[in-house]
Amino acid sequence: MKILVTGSNGFVGKELIKSLKNDDDDNNNIIVSLVRYNTNKKESDIYWNYETQEIEKDKLESFDVVIHLAGENISTGKWTKDKKKKILDSRVKGTRFLCETLSSLKNPPKVFISASAIGFYGNRKNEILTEDSEQGKGFLADVSKKWEDATESLLKTSTRVINTRFGVILSKNGGMLSKILLQFYMGFGGKIGDGKQYMSWIMLDDVINGIKHCISNSEIKGPVNFVSPNPVTNSEFTKTLGMLFGKPTILNIPAFVIKTTFGEMGNELLLSSTNAIPEKLLKTGFKFKCKYFENALRYVLTR
């Protein structure tokens, strides 16, 4: 296959490209990165910049699959007005520009996979959420809805469009877990707020395998929850991680401290509850490497 990847320098993109290359024993796959730097790039890379509406369009013909993972990091820095604009624009304007370009090709891709997030559902407490659940409220819910809607132009072509609603991705090399491992290892871990908020998680290996599953399974289209079948509460997350390190987890952080310190970002990322289920992945026969949180943590921590 001929595969194009944006966000190839992110921790998901890097692992995905590595895995796709490892699967290709006969060197038949062509993996190309769509990058936003036009100097010192590899000869095989393709340049684009949604802000200046630049893209090497002639090089985009006849890709089998495009995997779009690019977007401003939501968990670094406070959500100032400028930060929120970058989060929104990088996802919505970037996705719209890329999709409109691909839809105008003579040979658009057969499959387009665009990242999205379970932030789409907002804070829903204990409610079980599937891909058919309605949009929630909040900044991330609005961003996720507009992000998915930005693929509209490709829906008018023969391209099969998939929106991967990622949960919390477990990895030592990136994401939330990598930022708190030292804290828990030193015995300074603790639950956040009342600890009752649900965290829908997924191991990085299952993200990579899930993307491959979506590519090969022609039944799958539209939003897909990329989460384990077994979400955990923040309290369960805290106790499990502390237990694996053999450390206490008694230094709880009250909700008002999170709100005061992190503002809107803390409220939506740390205190929000999302109990999402991967209904589409399960119905199409996807096999999770790790369904249960303790097993997943043990696997991630020993790699």
Q: In the prediction, which pLDDT does 38 show?
A: 76
Asked if 207 and 169 touch (Cβ cutoff 8 Å), the reply is yes
Per-residue confidence of the chain (303 residues) as pLDDT tens digits? 999 999 999 999 999 999 999 887 777 789 999 998 877 788 889 999 999 999 999 999 999 999 999 999 998 878 999 999 999 999 999 999 999 999 999 999 999 999 999 999 999 999 999 999 999 999 999 999 999 999 999 999 999 999 999 999 999 988 889 989 998 999 989 999 999 999 999 999 999 999 999 999 999 999 999 999 999 999 999 999 999 999 999 889 889 888 888 888 888 889 999 999 999 999 999 999 999 999 999 999 988
The neighbour count for residue 285, using CB atoms within 10 Å, is 9
Any idea where the domains of the chain sit in the sequence?
A: 2-170+200-227+275-288
CATH 3.30.2290.10 fits 2-170+200-227+275-288, yes or no: no
Residues in Cβ contact with 173 at an 8 Å cutoff, skipping those fewer than 6 apart: 11, 15, 204
Residues in Cβ contact with 119 at an 8 Å cutoff, skipping those fewer than 6 apart: 138, 140, 141, 143, 144, 268, 272, 274
The rounded distance, in Å, linking the Cα atoms of 50 and 62 is 21
Q: What is the pTM of this model?
A: 0.94
Asked if 151 and 161 touch (Cβ cutoff 8 Å), the reply is yes
The rounded distance, in Å, linking the Cα atoms of 289 and 295 is 9
Determine which helix (DSSP H) or strand (DSSP E) holds 301, and give its type and residue range.
helix 293-301
Residues in Cβ contact with 260 at an 8 Å cutoff, skipping those fewer than 6 apart: none
The rounded distance, in Å, linking the Cα atoms of 246 and 103 is 53
- For residue 124, report the phi and psi dihedrals to the nearest 5 degrees: -120, 15
Q: In the prediction, which pLDDT does 119 show?
A: 96
Determine which helix (DSSP H) or strand (DSSP E) holds 15, and give its type and residue range.
helix 11-23
Assign 32 to helix, strand or coil. strand
Beta-bridge mates of residue 117: 166
Q: In the prediction, which pLDDT does 43 show?
A: 85
Asked if 228 and 293 touch (Cβ cutoff 8 Å), the reply is yes
User: What end-to-end distance do the CA atoms of the chain give, in Å?
Assistant: 29
Q: In the prediction, which pLDDT does 256 show?
A: 86
Q: In the prediction, which pLDDT does 41 show?
A: 80
The rounded distance, in Å, linking the Cα atoms of 87 and 99 is 18
Q: In the prediction, which pLDDT does 251 show?
A: 86
